[in-house]
Amino acid sequence: MESLKTIGAHIADIRITVRQTSDDSNYSDEYIYKLISDARALLLHQEIYKHRKLSEWNFQTFCVKLEPATYHDCSCITDIGCKIMKSTIKIPKPLLSRFKNYFKVYNITQDFEIYKTTPMQLKRDKYSNTRNGIRGYDISNERLILFNSNGMNHVLIRGVFEDPVLVSMTSACPSADICTDILKVEFPIDVRFNSILKEMVVKQLIGSMQLPDDKTNNAESSVTKI
């Protein structure tokens, strides 16, 4: 199977096509990437809602470190002993299927899946012979909460996310001094969508030529200063 193209390669292909009818220098890499990312999300959303199986090339997997914390973020509340494990980072926003977020959580060796739960469900599970003490996760304020961790301090998250660059930065940028060149990161989309993705972005760029909008995308971007 054909290998994935890098973000830089996608941007370069789009610039080449735009240059045939316009000056592409008006568009920053950040702006073009935002259009590419949005087009990818739209294409994959359509596949999900049509109940079509997504190729493995659309998925990303990354490791998340956990630390002891409380479920709530109320620092003014006296410690009531409700300790859980919480992710040290915010979880990138996944695509949404018809009924749930399009990602799964696993143990670090991916031997078993950790299923979604809630504090209320855990309370009910205490009275169950089969579910009492079982591991489960929840998402609160964009952070992953792990219940009944039993010493587990890392998990794997695998899914399809709105902004692939945020996932790459999550897994490839453990500190401010160590970071990946985003333009060299492979863009996670099935290669059969490459042509239509380029067509969608080029159409938007050419269609916006007569508009006075800012095309530098000064809003906060995960590709800033690439």
Contact predicate 51/132, CB 8 Å: no
- The DSSP code for 42 is H
Structure-block tokens of residue 116? 């979604």
Give pTM, 2 decimals. Answer: 0.81
Structure-block tokens of residue 184? 């060299």
3-state secondary structure of 46: helix
pLDDT band for position 80 (cuts 50, 70, 90)? very low
Query: What is the predicted pLDDT for the residue at 212?
Result: 53
The partner residues of 69 in beta bridges, in order of sequence, read: 84
Where do the domains of the chain lie?
Answer: 7-57+181-207, 60-159
The residue ranking higher by pLDDT, 22 or 30, is 30
CB neighbours of 91 closer than 8 A, spacing ≥ 6? 64, 139, 142, 143, 144, 157
Q: Closest by alpha carbon to 73, among 136, 135, 145?
A: 145
* Range from 7-16, 35-44, 116-125, 187-196 carrying the lowest mean pLDDT: 116-125
Query: What is the predicted pLDDT for the residue at 175?
Result: 53
- Convert the pLDDT of each residue in 111-149 to its tens digit: 999 999 988 888 888 888 777 878 999 999 999 999 998
Query: What is the predicted pLDDT for the residue at 26?
Result: 86
* Range from 51-55, 71-75, 171-175 carrying the lowest mean pLDDT: 171-175
Contact predicate 37/23, CB 8 Å: no
State the average pLDDT over residues 42-64: 93
3-state secondary structure of 203: helix
Whether residue 61 has pLDDT greater than 80: yes
* Range from 21-35, 61-75, 187-201 carrying the lowest mean pLDDT: 61-75
Query: What is the predicted pLDDT for the residue at 3?
Result: 80
- The DSSP code for 73 is -
State the average pLDDT over residues 178-204: 90
Give the CA radius of gyration of the chain: 21
Highest-scoring range by mean pLDDT, 2-16, 118-132, 170-184: 2-16
Beta strands in 22-118 (DSSP E): 60-70, 83-87, 103-106, 113-114
The pLDDT mean for the chain works out to 85
Q: Closest by alpha carbon to 28, among 45, 6, 5, 11?
A: 11
Contact predicate 124/68, CB 8 Å: no
- Convert the pLDDT of each residue in 147-159 to its tens digit: 998 889 999 999 9
pLDDT band for position 103 (cuts 50, 70, 90)? very high
Query: What is the predicted pLDDT for the residue at 224?
Result: 47
